[in-house]
Structure 1
Amino acid sequence: MLLSGKTRGDRVIWSIVAVLVVISLLAVYSSTGSLAYKQNKGNTEYYLFRQITFIVIGVGVIYFTHLVDYRFFSKVALWLYIASIPLLLYTLLFGANLNEANRWIKLPLINLTFQTSDFARLALFMYLARQISRKQNVITDFKKGYLPMLLPIGITCLLIAPANLSTCLLTGATGLLVLFMGRASIKHLLLTIGIAAIPVVMLIAAAVFTHKSEAATVAANNESGVVQNIRKQGRVGTWVSRIQDFIYAEGDAVPYQVQQAKVAIAKGSWIGLGPGNSEQRNFLPHPYSDFIYAIIIEEYGFLGGMLMVFLYLAFLYRCIRIVGKCPYAFGTFLALALGVTLAIQAISNMAVNVNIVPVTGVTLPLVSMGGTSFLFTCFSIGILLSIARNIEQLEGKEEPAKAEVAA
């Protein structure tokens, strides 16, 4: 299954990965010190060694994946996508529940939680890249070309949405962007965006309506039946309340995690408090995952925060270069999907931390504390480097590999 050969691929991406994992070690160790002390009887290094383990495994995943001819993934894309559907259904019905959302399933024996949406996204993009490359002649035809590629995106997004709306939106937006780059009809894309925007507009309208209803009835201390019903709708109520908090919350009404993130950013100023000197890690919920960017700014200041933005933009730029150079349609669309989704995920996490968008559960790729999401990110980067490595071979910068992929 593996190709023999030296480590190749885009050296800038390799360098960015190296810098991000070093930042991850520093940030995770700092943000988990107090948590590790409380949960592990004074052992403050517990999560540090855990993160080192994930980084070692993740770098191994990148290395061995980049040695695989990326065209192999075209052969297994359909089967991976088919496997992702029952996994998402099982997670939705029987997955581990956290904050009224079933996002994970527990893997037996190793007692590790597995977020099936990460696998589903990767499988979807492989399948989508395969289909677009095969349907270029009919992609502008709605029934023969566009609809067969839109349906997989819709099915995956609908199964992800109940537990993780932010990941659903990220996946859908990336899928439509890949279809756009694949020369799908603009008319079809606009129609899809218009239909997809309906539930989003309804959520915003519900947030505005319930806020006005609450304001009108607060004096009587008696919420309307409509407001109460919306609040009881599980995840829908969570989405509505987050939109409300983002639009209307002021002062003490601002969500606790947003308040603490703002305090962390304010303390960081230009150069920060220094490595390991974060104070808000003791107050900020999930400082090692969802809000790790705020901890980075607190410790390394505005300059450290801008460095993170630069690294992810540089990563996106190198992915775009790979897209431009790849001679095969499958590699082009796969590199586009994987590169864009990782960059948008990073930007979304940072936007949440600085309160530009409502709170979501999106992690910072390669920096947030390790888990299966970290490993799937590494797998995606390995595929990108495999595509870059293939380009080098075709350009004559590397001798062709002696061993071919074994199906």
Structure 2
Amino acid sequence: MKKLLQNIKGDKVIWSVVVILSLFSLLLIYSTTDRLALEHNSTPFRFLISQIFYLILGLGTVYIFHKIKYTRFMKWSVYLFLASIPLLLYTLFFGTELNSGSRWISIPFVGVTIQTSDLAKLAIFTFLARQLSLKQKVIGDFWKGFFPVLFPVLVICGLIAPANLSTALLLGATCCFMFFIGRIPMKHILLLIVAGIGLVLCIFAISKLTGKGRGGTWQKRIEVFMGKNADADDTYQTDQANIAIANGKILGRGPGNSYAKNFLPHPYSDFVFAIVIEEYGLFGASVVMFCYLLFLWRSINIFRRCPYAFGAFLSIGLSFTLVFQAMINMAVAVHLVPVTGQTLPFISKGGSSIVFTAIAVGVILSVSRYVDEMEGKQQLVKQIEKEEQEKAALAAAQNNS
């Protein structure tokens, strides 16, 4: 164990946040899977073991990827981006349907399903970091600098949007943030926002005209959020989440004592933050939020310290999308935004989503490890130079005496 800890490099605060969120996840999964266990004629212990397995797999994935030199991801990003396009197309037309949307594909002979949008998020952010770093000298030019960066974003978001609009919007917003820190002119970013809105409206119109896709679902969710044409069935999830939040108060009802977990359809994934508030109160919810914000702050430090554009863009892009996803999940639970179906990273019940999140964290820690090693070498060089100067000064003083 001591040798393993010595081999763990990178930002220790980020490592600590990941471990804390993972441990917190185990408490919540064991607490919220009672009804799911009854449906499967099992016990919550089964789902706890499953979550332990995936979290151990996730931490192992973080460890493996943080040992890889981050510059390798620059080359791999091209292949990852190209591979994600046919996977998204296959998912869109032949994927497993969930709530009228094709979001998942099944791996043959294994019985495991993966959400290809998770892979696409990794692909677009690594590829976007590569493009931004390569185009810095011509970033102000529309065709030479901006369009090569914009096109892959439109492709990925356009393929994700018909089945999973919330993820597409999340990606688009994070990409706009990366464009801003990548010194792309604001007029180009505004053009992207307009193009994104136009793309969403086109997809919505086509869905409504053809009767295919999730246009009706999007419209219904917005109407329910606005309080229009909504009955008790439509507001059931948000009503139960509000009850859970009201019951939580400051310190909560205690671990495992949630009432809403027996009524919320997905208390272990989409609305897990409502259970956090009910069982651990405002205090527990604040701790969870603090962990994600601490994760983002440490990633920003990595971004500021990294001397190379690719590593800087890579760390800030991946960290921002993870934290933004967490904030959207929390906002849904407290009824600040319409229901989106986004999970809470490292806390919600999951399999492939935990692994892909772990890959992203591993890449961020890979950049951190390189920055730490580089700064360590620089400090060593400075120390050697200082010692040489002191020896030279001492020798000169002895000669003069």
- Asked whether the two chains share a fold, i.e. TM above 0.5, the reply is yes
Match of 1:197 in 2: 197
Partners of 1:390 and 1:199 lie apart in 2 by: 39
Q: Which runs of 5+ in 2 are unaligned?
A: 381-401
Aligned-residue offset at 1:195 = 2.7
Match of 1:259 in 2: 239
Aligned length: 374
Partners of 1:120 and 1:141 lie apart in 2 by: 27
1:294 equivalent among 274, 299, 302: 274
Contact 2:161 2:200 in 1 (8 A): no
2:220 equivalent among 238, 241, 256: 241
Secondary structure of 2:137's counterpart equals: coil
Partners of 2:379 and 2:123 lie apart in 1 by: 30
Match of 2:174 in 1: 174
Aligned-residue offset at 1:202 = 8.4
Contact 1:260 1:280 in 2 (8 A): yes
Secondary structure of 1:369's counterpart equals: coil
Match of 1:131 in 2: 131
Contact 1:104 1:114 in 2 (8 A): yes
Match of 2:394 in 1: none
Contact 1:203 1:240 in 2 (8 A): no
Partners of 1:201 and 1:123 lie apart in 2 by: 25
Partners of 1:388 and 1:299 lie apart in 2 by: 35
Secondary structure of 2:33's counterpart equals: helix
Q: Which runs of 5+ in 1 are unaligned?
A: 207-227, 401-407
Instruction: Show CA shifts across 1:176-207 (max 9, x none).
Output: 21111111111111122123234557899x9x
Secondary structure of 1:352's counterpart equals: helix
Secondary structure of 1:252's counterpart equals: coil
Pair 1:336 & 2:316 matched:
yes
Secondary structure of 2:7's counterpart equals: coil
Match of 1:211 in 2: none
Pair 1:84 & 2:84 matched:
yes
Instruction: Show CA shifts across 1:86-144 (max 9, x none).
Output: 00000001000111100000012221111001101101111111111111111110011
Pair 1:304 & 2:305 matched:
no
Contact 1:231 1:237 in 2 (8 A): no
Contact 2:261 2:267 in 1 (8 A): yes
Instruction: Show CA shifts across 1:202-241 (max 9, x none).
Output: 899x9xxxxxxxxxxxxxxxxxxxxx96794540010001
Contact 1:5 1:67 in 2 (8 A): no
Q: What code does the residue aligned with 2:308 have?
A: Y
Secondary structure of 1:137's counterpart equals: helix
Partners of 1:36 and 1:190 lie apart in 2 by: 48
Identity, % of aligned positions: 49
Instruction: Show CA shifts across 1:38-92 (max 9, x none).
Output: 4134x33110000000011000000111111011101111111000000000000
Partners of 1:135 and 1:295 lie apart in 2 by: 45
Aligned-residue offset at 1:399 = 11
Q: What code does the residue aligned with 2:268 have?
A: Y
Contact 1:392 1:398 in 2 (8 A): no
Partners of 1:153 and 1:247 lie apart in 2 by: 30
Contact 2:119 2:356 in 1 (8 A): yes
The 1:397/1:278 distance shift into structure 2, 3 A limit, reads farther
Match of 2:347 in 1: 367
Q: Which has the larger radius of gyration?
A: 2
Contact 1:55 1:370 in 2 (8 A): no
Match of 1:25 in 2: 26
2:250 equivalent among 263, 270, 283: 270
RMSD: 2.2
Q: What code does the residue aligned with 1:243 have?
A: I
The 1:184/1:68 distance shift into structure 2, 3 A limit, reads same
- The alignment's TM-score, normalised by the length of structure 1, stands at 0.87
Q: What code does the residue aligned with 2:37 have?
A: A
2:362 equivalent among 382, 395, 400: 382
Higher helix share: 2
The 1:397/1:264 distance shift into structure 2, 3 A limit, reads farther
